[in-house]
Amino acid sequence: MIETLTPVTVRLGGQVRPLKAGAVLTLSQSQGWKLRAKAGEKVRLVPDGPCFACQSTRRWVSIHGAVVCPTCHPPTSPGLVKQWIGGRSEIAGVSPART
């Protein structure tokens, strides 16, 4: 998801949409990155919003600090996971690391 930080006009699928600051858009991954590239500082990615690609709200935080969608990019090793965020914990084969 993308959140607008200032009023911005976006073009989506041939439609021009003026948006107020604070509007939240759910976009496909390619649309999201395009808008991010074009609008730059006027928008931000909402890290706890649904994944662009699969709409999952679950994330894992790597020991290197990256926040990653486990559906699109499952951790290759449980040792890489610092923290789980959001979503449901009962995803088959993936369980939160004990601390």
Binding site for Zn ion (CB under 5 A): 51, 53-54, 56, 69, 71-72
Q: Which is nearer to Zn ion, 54 or 63 (CB)?
A: 54
Smallest distance from Zn ion to CB 71, Å: 4
Q: Which is nearer to Zn ion, 34 or 56 (CB)?
A: 56
Q: Which is nearer to Zn ion, 5 or 49 (CB)?
A: 49
Smallest distance from Zn ion to CB 26, Å: 13
Neighbour-count burial for 11-36, b at 16+ CB within 10 Å, e otherwise: eeeeeeeebeeebebebeeebbeebe
Place of tokens 């699928």: 13
**What six digits make up the tokens of 31?**
């649309």
